[in-house]
Amino acid sequence: MFKASNLPLLIFLILCLNVVIYIRASLTIVPVDMVFGECARNSGRTSAAINLYMLFMVGHYGLKSIYADEKRKNVFRVLITLFAVNHLVHFLFVSHYFKDKLLELNISHNLHGFITYLFIVAAPILLWRFNTLSKVLYYGIMLHLFNVTYLICITFYARYKPVDPAYLHRLGILVILAALGYILYRIYRERTIEFPRPQLCKPVA
């Protein structure tokens, strides 16, 4: 399903999912100024699910082994791309929520999040641009995954309140931490695998 040839269709399905999220929120959420807040939460959960899939994929196969197999590499690239597309829609929901609440979305107050968004957008471009896994790309991808996952965990933890234990979100954090531990184990296991020389993707004829 996650073939490179299916990427346009998968992007379309992600966009359709977010349209459904918006329609559902518009029909069920009161007051109206909370609609985009609900949309942001559900689109964020979609991003978290895609990210978790990537974490377990990297933990199970190892990033070097993923790049050594063309099919797995393309699946990983597709997932990175879908995450970026979905999270851009998530940002639109968040910005509209702030607008409805008459709040200022100040970049300087959330510089880490802003920089992370830039890398989320850049990640699929870089991964489709470079066909082989260099040492820089390897550690860049790992840092990106850990950084994005950290922000997701912070968001989940923020849901916890004395009146709302948010057990589902706390379970989500535990699963995510387990996935990160799995990745660290895989990094150790594949540490002896050599990096190939980097090269640009060949243009399609």
**pLDDT tens figures, 109-141:** 788 889 999 999 999 999 999 999 999 999 999
Tokens 């959420």 -> residue: 29
**203 found inside a domain:** no
Determine, yes or no, domain membership for 181.
Answer: yes
Percent pLDDT > 70 in the chain is 92
Question: Who wins on pLDDT, 167 or 135?
Answer: 135
pLDDT at 54: 97
What is the pLDDT, as a whole number, of residue 46?
Answer: 95
Can you give the residue range of the structural domain that contains 101? Answer: 4-189
Give the position of tokens 């912070």.
154
Query: Quick check: is 46 in a domain?
Result: yes
Q: Is 197 domain-assigned?
A: no
What is the total count of domains within the chain? Answer: 1
Residue 172 has pLDDT above 60, yes or no: yes
Least confident of 17-26, 33-42, 161-170: 161-170
pTM value is 0.88
H-type alpha helices, 33-134? 35-61, 63-68, 70-100, 111-129
Tell me whether residue 200 is in a domain. no
Identify the pLDDT of residue 145: 96
Q: Is the pLDDT of residue 103 over 90?
A: no
Residue 100 lies in a domain: yes
